[in-house]
Amino acid sequence: MACTINVNLPESSYEIQIAPSTLDKLGEYMSKLELGRKVLIVSNPTVFELYGARVVNSLEANNYQVFTCILPDGESYKNLDSIKEIYDACIEHRLERSSTLVALGGGVIGDMTGFAAATYLRGINFIQAPTTLLAMVDSSIGGKTGVNHPKGKNLIGAFYQPKFVLIDPEVLQTLPEREFRAGMAEVIKYGVIWDAEFFAQMEASTHLDSIKTISPELLETIIKLSCQAKADVVGQDEREAGLRAILNYGHTIGHAVESLTGYTEVIHGEAVGIGMVAAGEMAAELGMWTKAETERQNHLIAKAGLLTHLPKINIDEIITAIQIDKKVRDGKVRFILPTQIGKVEITNEVPTDTIRSVLNNLQRM
Ligand SMILES: NC(=O)c1ccc[n+]([C@@H]2O[C@H](COP(=O)([O-])OP(=O)(O)OC[C@H]3O[C@@H](n4cnc5c(N)ncnc54)[C@H](O)[C@@H]3O)[C@@H](O)[C@H]2O)c1
Ligand SMILES: O=C(O)C(=O)C[C@@H](O)[C@H](O)[C@H](O)COP(=O)(O)O
Ligand SMILES: [Zn+2]
């Protein structure tokens, strides 16, 4: 299944390499870029125990001097304290401008490592080695890096691109099923916002809800088409001046749900699934697409084993939380809403009554 996808950008194009056992080739890939000899691997105990030795061996075999920074596991550690731990390790090991940070883990590790790389010495090299489905198909690509603030998701960050992304799909075999399903939410997102054919292919498939039973061919397609969709969008609008906002489909309500449930009860991908259901229902209320299309979308989300109703959260708190969404303009919350499977639009404003009634209905389900 080896394949290369290019992320074409004005100043910092790079490759996404997808191949089995590719983690063992990280050192080799790095050598081609003529980077400095010092490398700091940023990971967490869960992932490092499983895959750290392979990455260390590959780097050492290519004459890199390797250091590690192992952060606690979990979204609740995606904060500035963890970034300070990365800076401390960089300083302790005298990392230089030519040195490299390697993010080995899911989206939490990837977002934090990218932010530390963007800011340490005003910018050093970084590489994404994603180990969750979500990180492979979404967070490792496109250069959105950052951390959460107690008041909301990803409020502090920078756009900063990796030198390359190395995807070894075999590592998904150890991923907990819940995390696999969460990744499927971002995969389904690409079908709704960008690729109707891909959506239909998933609709016609079975076993979308388990890494143990999904067919290897479908998994391969899912990773490739998702990476391609993300690369296409980011290639047209690196810094979210316009088009890129479509990648935020489902995230306005999703981020509020995630933060209001303390980042553990509902994890990112699950919250995005609920957010897509809410956005689809809003679009139907506003006559932007049909009820039948909403049901097609919701059916696929449910088939991937994801929640389609809103957990018990105070709806006023959700309405308040969405006011700090990054798409807010002139104080108005803007939503990405679908017009048909494969197409979405950014709205100017959705009446608060519509938001409230959709959320109420989703909670009663
Ligand atoms: N930058 C972006 O464009 C972007 C896009 C989407 C999501 N995100 C961010 O990504 C984060 C979510 O990332 P995530 O879903 O990868 O969660 P995560 O990073 O928390 O990883 C999920 C869990 O899986 C474990 N894990 C990772 N790989 C494993 C493997 N191969 N085997 C066994 N266990 C493994 C991790 O230790 C963790 O416990 C959120 O913070 C979200 O905001 C960023
Ligand atoms: O890459 C993007 O652009 C996205 O919006 C991808 C999202 O899946 C991701 O969760 C992103 O981190 C959300 O961005 P934010 O700007 O709303 O924090
Ligand atoms: Zn996301």
Same domain, 13 and 126: yes
pLDDT digits (tens, 9 = 90+) for 248-262: 999 999 999 999 999
Last residue of a domain, one of 174, 192, 219: 174
Whether the pLDDT of residue 365 is over 80: the answer is no
Atom number in ligand 1 closest to CA 111: 1
Average pLDDT over residues 136-160: 96
State whether the beta carbon of 233 lies less than 6 angstroms from ligand 1: no
User: Residue 273 has which token pair?
Assistant: 């699934």
> Is 336 a known ligand-binding residue?
no
Strands 152-159 vs 144-149: parallel, antiparallel or unpaired:
antiparallel
Range of the domain at 350: 177-364
Q: Which ligand is nearest to the CA of 267?
A: 1
Last residue of a domain, one of 148, 174, 200: 174
Confidence of residue 84 (pLDDT cuts 50, 70, 90): very high
Same domain, 207 and 155: no
Q: How many domains does the chain have?
A: 2
pLDDT digits (tens, 9 = 90+) for 165-197: 999 999 999 999 999 999 999 999 999 999 999
Same domain, 114 and 209: no
**Residues 6+ away with beta carbon under 8 Å from 83:** 112, 115, 116, 119, 147
Whether the pLDDT of residue 1 is over 80: the answer is no
Beta strands in the chain (DSSP E): 3-7, 14-18, 38-43, 65-70, 100-105, 125-130, 144-149, 152-159, 164-167, 336-340, 343-346
State whether the beta carbon of 191 lies less than 6 angstroms from ligand 1: no
Whether the pLDDT of residue 10 is over 90: the answer is yes
Same domain, 253 and 360: yes
State whether the beta carbon of 132 lies less than 6 angstroms from ligand 1: yes
Locus of tokens 């800011």: 119
pLDDT of residue 235: 98
**Residues 6+ away with beta carbon under 8 Å from 25:** 19, 58, 166
C-alpha to C-alpha distance for 14 and 20, rounded to whole angstroms: 20
Task: Say which amino acid occupies 352.
Answer: T
Task: Say which amino acid occupies 164.
Answer: F
Same domain, 203 and 161: no
Whether the pLDDT of residue 268 is over 90: the answer is yes
User: Residue 129 has which token pair?
Assistant: 């080695």
Whether the pLDDT of residue 43 is over 90: the answer is yes
Confidence of residue 240 (pLDDT cuts 50, 70, 90): very high
pLDDT of residue 44: 98
Active site positions, annotated: 122, 144, 186, 230, 240, 244, 248, 251, 255, 268
C-alpha to C-alpha distance for 34 and 25, rounded to whole angstroms: 15
Same domain, 256 and 149: no
pLDDT of residue 364: 81
Average pLDDT over residues 134-154: 96
> Is 183 a known ligand-binding residue?
no
Average pLDDT, the chain: 97
pLDDT digits (tens, 9 = 90+) for 270-299: 999 999 999 999 999 999 999 999 999 999
Same domain, 32 and 111: yes
Strands 3-7 vs 100-105: parallel, antiparallel or unpaired:
unpaired
Same domain, 201 and 270: yes
Q: Which ligand is nearest to the CA of 132?
A: 1
Same domain, 110 and 24: yes
CATH number of the domain bearing residue 202: 1.20.1090.10
pLDDT of residue 179: 98
Confidence of residue 33 (pLDDT cuts 50, 70, 90): very high
Indicate which residue's Cα is closest to atom 33 of ligand 1.
175
Residue 349, classed as helix, strand or coil, is coil
DSSP letters for 70-131: EPPSSGGG-SHHHHHHHHHHHHHTT--TT-EEEEEESHHHHHHHHHHHHHGGG--EEEEEE-
Look at 50-54, 131-135, 340-344, 345-349 and tell me which has the smallest mean pLDDT: 345-349
Torsion of CA 219, 5, 110, 309, to 10 degrees: -40
Atom number in ligand 2 closest to CA 186: 8
Average pLDDT over residues 305-323: 96
Ligand 1 pocket, mutate which of 179, 186, 276 (most atoms under 8 A from CB): 179
Q: CA nearest 70: which of 81, 55, 85, 54?
A: 85
Last residue of a domain, one of 174, 202, 230: 174
Confidence of residue 348 (pLDDT cuts 50, 70, 90): confident
CATH number of the domain bearing residue 20: 3.40.50.1970
pLDDT of residue 354: 96
Same domain, 184 and 143: no
pLDDT of residue 117: 98
> Is 131 a known ligand-binding residue?
yes
User: Residue 362 has which token pair?
Assistant: 């989703």
> Is 78 a known ligand-binding residue?
yes
> Is 153 a known ligand-binding residue?
yes
Which residues pair with residue 103 across a beta bridge? 42, 128
Indicate which residue's Cα is closest to atom 19 of ligand 1.
106
State whether the beta carbon of 189 lies less than 6 angstroms from ligand 2: no
pLDDT of residue 197: 98
Indicate which residue's Cα is closest to atom 13 of ligand 2.
248
State whether the beta carbon of 75 lies less than 6 angstroms from ligand 1: yes
pLDDT of residue 90: 98
Same domain, 234 and 215: yes
Ligand 2 pocket, mutate which of 248, 325, 327 (most atoms under 8 A from CB): 248
Average pLDDT over residues 304-323: 96
Indicate which residue's Cα is closest to atom 14 of ligand 2.
248
Q: Is the dihedral of CA 91, 239, 11, 191 positive or negative?
A: positive
Same domain, 197 and 102: no
Burial of 133: CB neighbours in 10 Å, binned 0-12, 13-18, 19+: buried
C-alpha to C-alpha distance for 125 and 101, rounded to whole angstroms: 6
Whether the pLDDT of residue 349 is over 90: the answer is no
